A and B are shown apart, each in its own frame.
Chain A
Amino acid sequence: MSLILCIETSVTPYGVVLVSEGEVVFNSLTAAVVNQDKDVATIVHAAFQAAGQKPGALTKIAINRGPGGTSSIRTGVAFANSLAYSLRIPVVGFNTFELLGIAGWQQFHCPVISTVKSIKGNAYVGLFAAGEIAATQYGPLAAVVQEMTANLPEFAVAGAHREAIQNMFPGRTVHDTGQKFGLATAMLDLPDLLATRGLLYPAFIRPITEESSLFFAE
């Protein structure tokens, strides 16, 4: 038996996906029954009702740790942690670069540079290739992207600064994924991570912040 709850709160409207035996049985972004402006608990509640499932049947929870909206990420992580804790089931943390990366990889079959906005000209930047994160960095957008793409003849861009990055490399092939945000359903396209990365209390998920030393560590 497998019932997995995937939650993505890095951006509104939040994405809540319920997966039963490998099949999506509820997706808040396409379900008409859901008021998408609601808080994560209300949407998750609606997910169980719509799918005719009980929270007690969950076997795993997956959550995006960010980066993204600071307090919305924290809200989703706190909720995922406590729901997993209350049911004594594992909670799996993904990051935004993995969710954007796998989507871009499937589109263009080349490395994917994803960016998330931050303050003071800084950005979170992640490089995804061949099913995993190859590099992540927090710093001034242009400098970080230049460095990270130095040896890439071809790559795709996703996230906040797609246009700016394309303009930085007029001579190179830079594909635009058109993807601004990660999707909860992308977690299902990373089945190995979903299967192996689970944390059981007393371990739990921490949001990614500019001081995370970075995302591989946990």
Chain B
Amino acid sequence: MKKYILGIESSCDDTAVAVVTEAGEVKSSVIASQTDLHAQFGGVFPEFAGRAHVAAILPTIERAMQEAGITPADLEAIGVTRGPGLIGSLLVGLSTASGLGLGWGVPVIGVNHLRGHLRSADLEETRVSYPAIILLVSGGHTFLAHMDSPAEIQLLGSTRDDSVGEAYDKVGRMLDLGYPGGPVVDRTAKLGQANIPFPRPMLHKGLEFSFSGLKSAVARYLDATENPVVEDVAASFVEAAMDILLTKCRKALQQYPVRSLVVVGGVAASPQLRAQAGELCDEMGVTLCLPPLRWSTDNAAMIALATWDYLHLDKAPEPLPALQLAIGDF
């Protein structure tokens, strides 16, 4: 019986491969990280990311298959990220998946990376009760969506400019805290006072986000201030970012009666965000769903789980790059 999907994810700087059952059981999930490679550039350098994917992808596939203890004959399909993402990185995953599919005689399906994130909360166990509001906060994306079911997705609002993760990275760089900025900015913020009144762009305008104004305000403050207290700047930035995220979540929960709020993406690792989202959900009487962090950052298990949705819905986009996919797209 064929009961596994092999997921392949190479949209940005991590090469990830996983084997997942129809019920969301993760048989293996292997990630070859390029964080060290890109740390020297203070961000992801696309050409080097593509090269690193070529070097990492076959060993990662081999390990994922071995750890899952399966053979190609056990595969129902291969699901591979087709976008959004960096073209040079996506192409490596897509071409590799196509070669495997041809050699193994297994169908290959191109999967929307965003649908992977939206499904990540149900990996290993069913956690989400629908309908749900989902907040995706990462280096690549910041948006709110409404989900009636795993397949029925509606975008409520996304960022007009930077993602919140980018804002973290840029502020981390301005404060000389290193890359990636998220964890270190959060840690530094805990040591300071949020005593600088940074702006909250678009706070009361619908469910869309904007972070570039906040980022520029931090830059202006640092330019204009002699001996700024790094901890206080970080604390004030984090408070403003959280204010924006939580205010939009509250609005969404007020507008849409749902059973759960799901927070996914790399920034879901923020202790400040986790704590404040918990308080909001208690107050609103909805269940907060915070999947384990390993499923929140880019991984291939979420792509594999989303691929099962594609099979159930009879959707099979070709494994070719699609850079402009929206949340509702397949």
Contacts and interface: CB of A to CB of B under 8 A. Distances in A.
Interface of A: 39-41, 44-45, 55-56, 70-71, 74-87, 201-202, 204, 206-207, 209
Interface stretch (B89-97, B141-149, B169-177, B267-275): B89-97
B102 A55 contact: yes
A74 B319 CA distance: 16
Given A41-B99, A55-B103, A206 B87 contact: no
Given A71-B50, A71-B87, A78 B62 contact: no
Contacts of B51: 74, 207, 209
A83 B100 CA distance: 5
Given A75-B92, A82-B95, A207-B54, 7 more contacts: A41-B98, A41-B102, A45-B102, A75-B95, A78-B54, A86-B103, A204-B58
Contacts of B104: 86
A122 to B, nearest CB: 15
Nearest to A76: B95
Contacts of B99: 41, 78-86
B47 interface: yes
Given A41-B102, A55-B102, A82 B91 contact: no
Contact of B95 (A41, A45, A56, A201): A41
Q: B59, B88, B99: which has the most chain A beta carbons within 10 Å? A: B99
Contacts of B303: none
A142 B123 CA distance: 58
Contacts of B62: 85, 201-202
B305 to A, nearest CB: 22
B319 A86 contact: no
Contacts, number: 94
Contacts of A204: 58
7 contacts: A74-B91, A81-B58, A82-B61, A82-B99, A82-B100, A84-B103, A201-B62
Contact of B72 (A55, A74, A80, A86): A86
Contacts of B55: 206
B230 interface: no
B320 interface: yes
A79 B58 contact: no
Nearest to B106: A86
Contacts of B92: 74-75, 78
Contacts of A78: 53-54, 57, 91-92, 95-96, 99
**Looking at chain B's contact residues, is the secondary structure mostly helix, strand, loop, or mixed?**
helix
A85 B50 contact: no
Contacts of A209: 51
Interface string B77-92: 0000000000110011
A106 to B, nearest CB: 31
A40 B95 contact: yes
Contacts of B61: 82, 85
B129 to A, nearest CB: 39
A39 B320 contact: yes
Q: A86, A202, A207: which has the most chain B beta carbons within 10 Å? A: A86
B208 to A, nearest CB: 33
A11 to B, nearest CB: 16
Nearest to A58: B103
Contacts of A44: 102
Contacts of A86: 72, 99-100, 102-104
A49 to B, nearest CB: 12
A77 B91 CA distance: 11
A56 B101 CA distance: 12
Interface in B40-71: 47, 50-51, 53-55, 57-59, 61-62
Contacts of B57: 78, 82
Contacts of B105: 55-56
B17 to A, nearest CB: 11
Interface in B128-176: none
B291 to A, nearest CB: 30
Contacts of A87: 103
A85 B98 CA distance: 12
A209 B55 CA distance: 13
4 shortest A-B CB distances, which residue pairs? Answer: A86-B103, A82-B99, A41-B98, A83-B99
Given A44-B102, A82-B96, A86-B72, A77 B58 contact: no
A93 B96 CA distance: 16
A71 B100 contact: no
A79 B96 contact: yes
Nearest to B91: A75
Nearest to A207: B54
A71 B98 contact: no
